[in-house]
Structure 1
Amino acid sequence: MRKEHKIRVGISIGDLNGIGPEIVIKALEDKRMLDFFTPVIFASIKTMSFFKNHMNSDISFHGIDKFNQLIDSRINVLNVWKEPVEINFGEENKTIGTYAVKSLEGAVEALKSNDIDVLVTAPINKQNIQSDTFNFPGHTNYIAKQLNGKSLMFMVTDHLKVGLLTDHVPVEVVGKSITPDLIKEKIDLMYQSLIMDFQIRRPKIAVLGINPHAGDGGVIGNEDDDVLKPTLSQLRDDGKLVYGPYAADTFFGTGNYRNFDAVLAAYHDQGLVPFKTISFGEGVNYTAGLSKIRTSPDHGTGYDIAGKNMADASSFKQAIFTALKIYNNRNSYQKLTQNPLKLSQKSSQKSFDA
Structure 2
Amino acid sequence: MSEKLKIGITTGDLNGIGMEVIIKSLLDNKVLDYFTPIVYGNTKNASFHRKANNINDFSFNVITDVEQANPKRANMINCWQEDVKISLGEENELGGKYAFISLEKAVEDLNNGKIDALVTAPINKHNIQQEGFAFPGHTEYLQHKVNADDVLMFMLCEDLRVGVVTGHIPVKDVAAQITEEALLKKLRLMNSSLKNDFWIQKPKIAVLGLNPHAGDNGVIGTEDDAVIRPTLEKANAEGMLCFGPFPADGFFASDAYLKFDAVLAMYHDQGLIPFKHIAQRKGVNYTAGLPIVRTSPDHGTGYDIAGKNLASHESFLEALFAAVHIVKNRREQLELTANPLPFRKLSKDRD
Provide the TM-score with structure 1 as the length reference.
0.93
Shift of the 14–342 alpha-carbon distance from structure 1 to 2, 3 Å rule, reads farther
Shift in alpha-carbon separation, 1:19–1:342, aligned structure 2, 3 A: farther
1:51 is displaced (CA, Å) by 2.0
* Compared CA separation, residues 242 and 4, structure 1 to 2 (3 A): closer
Against the structure 1 CA distance between its residues 256 and 4, is the aligned structure 2 distance closer, same or farther, given a 3 Å change threshold? closer
SS at match of 1:59: coil
The corresponding residue for 1:25 is 23
Shift of 1:249: 1.4
Change (3 A) 1:68 1:332: closer
In 2, the alpha carbon distance for the partners of 1:125 and 1:291 equals: 25
Task: Look up the match of 1:97.
Answer: 96
Further displaced range: 251-260 or 49-58: 49-58
Check the 8 A contact 2:38/2:66 in 1, yes or no: no
2:33 maps to a residue whose letter is D
Answer yes or no: is the 8 Å Cα contact 2:206–2:242 preserved in 1: yes
Measure, in 2, the Cα distance between the counterparts of 1:144 and 1:194.
19
Instruction: Report the residue type matching 2:125 in the other structure.
Output: K
Aligned to 1:269: 269
Name stretches of at least 5 consecutive residues in structure 2 with no aligned partner: 344-351
1:122-133 paired onto structure 2 within 5 Å: 122-133=121-132
1:308-341: CA deviations, max 9, x gaps?
A: 1111100100000111111111111112222444
Greater mean alpha carbon deviation, residues 324-333 or residues 263-272:
324-333
Deviations 1:16-35 (A, max 9, x none): 11100000000001111111
SS of 2:217 mapped into structure 1: helix
In structure 1, C-alpha distance between the alignment counterparts of 2:295 and 2:179, rounded to whole Å:
27
CA distance in 2, matches of 1:280, 1:289: 26
Say whether 1:118 aligns with 2:151.
no
CA distance in 2, matches of 1:323, 1:251: 29
Following TM superposition, the consecutive aligned residue runs of length 4 or more in structure 1 with deviations greater than 6 angstroms are none
CA–CA distance in 1 between the matches of 2:61 and 2:131?
34
Stretch of structure 1 that moved more, 201-210 or 5-14: 5-14
Give, in angstroms, the shift of residue 252 of structure 1.
Answer: 0.4
The 10-residue stretch of structure 1 (320-329 or 128-137) with the greater mean CA deviation from structure 2:
128-137
Structure 2 CA distance, aligned partners of 1:300 and 1:103? 17
Partner of 1:159: 159
Question: Is the counterpart of residue 249 in structure 1 residue 249 in structure 2?
Answer: yes
The offset of 1:237, in angstroms, is 1.4
Tell me by how many angstroms 1:342 deviates: 8.2
Question: Aligned letter for 1:20?
Answer: G
Name the Cα RMSD after superposition: 1.5
* Paired amino acid for 1:268: H
Contact preservation (8 Å) 1:37, 1:73: no
Q: In the alignment, does 2:330 pair up with 1:334?
A: no
Counterpart of 2:35 in structure 1: which amino acid? Answer: F
The two structures have a TM-score, normalised by structure 2, of 0.94
Alpha-carbon distance in 2 for matches of 1:187, 1:204 = 11
Percentage identity across paired residues of the two chains: 52
Aligned partner of residue 253 in structure 2, secondary structure: coil
Counterpart Cα distance in 2 of 1:210 and 1:62 = 49
Q: Aligned with 2:194: secondary structure?
A: helix
1:301 and 2:326 aligned? no
Unaligned runs of 5+ in 1: 344-354
The AA in structure 1 aligned to 2:322 is T
SS of equivalent to 1:123: coil
The equivalent residue for 1:14 is 12
